[in-house]
A and B are shown apart, each in its own frame.
Chain A
């Protein structure tokens, strides 16, 4: 699926700082439709009830209630959602963590700190 700037994007992070920085970068890239959630549980609820549906999820790893990896696993386990692209943005750069995310079916992985250019490149890798 090619990158379409009209996609509906959900940014999930318990820190408003990161939601704000990511939304600023997405705006710079040209995205117009962005929503945000504070944890995986809120995100999953929003994803299941969204109209129009979300086309891309960008999620942190460490969050209360439901972590990013639990959110990813829940999405991949749901027949209606399993094809949804999920990019994880996290300060957890340890190899074991990256491997766990890859095994759970993450679409791409961004390690904090990151530049706007990195986010753009990772998006392009997902939507070729």
Chain B
């Protein structure tokens, strides 16, 4: 996978969380993920199609997503309920939209499917292809989250 493909997703993640949740995450070193186990408690996954086939996902620890959604709603959220799950999907949706806009500017047009959400300790993330999975962890004052991007060449 072209490593440059991940940069629009990192930028979009920072922009979405800063704008909608007033949170400034710190991106850490990207790595190639070797397994399908999620690095957190709740994930959203979006399939992408068009010039490439792929998947993006975002996985939050429980403490991290509860604080982020509390900021988005202006109200304290205390459990991974339907509203928080919905917000995880919408965050992934916004990141996908922003990143695809930048990729379109580079001549790569991608279409996104509807996000799906998963929760639970030790849940797994099934990417659409067997291409290498590029993961980027982020730190926030509330806890960590990770985005994963997986594209066919």
Contacts and interface: CB of A to CB of B under 8 A. Distances in A.
A and B from one complex: yes
Interface of A: 15-18, 20-21, 24, 62, 64, 90-95, 111-115
Interface residues of B, number: 25
B122 to A, nearest CB: 26
The majority secondary structure among interface residues of chain A is loop
A16 B73 CA distance: 11
24 contacts: A15-B87, A15-B89, A15-B90, A16-B82, A17-B72, A18-B90, A20-B83, A21-B72, A24-B74, A62-B112, A92-B97, A93-B97, A93-B98, A93-B101, A94-B101, A94-B104, A95-B104, A111-B101, A112-B20, A112-B93, A112-B94, A112-B98, A113-B16, A113-B20
B90 to A, nearest CB: 4
Interface of B: 15-16, 19-20, 69, 72-74, 82-83, 86-87, 89-90, 93-94, 96-98, 100-101, 104, 109, 112, 114
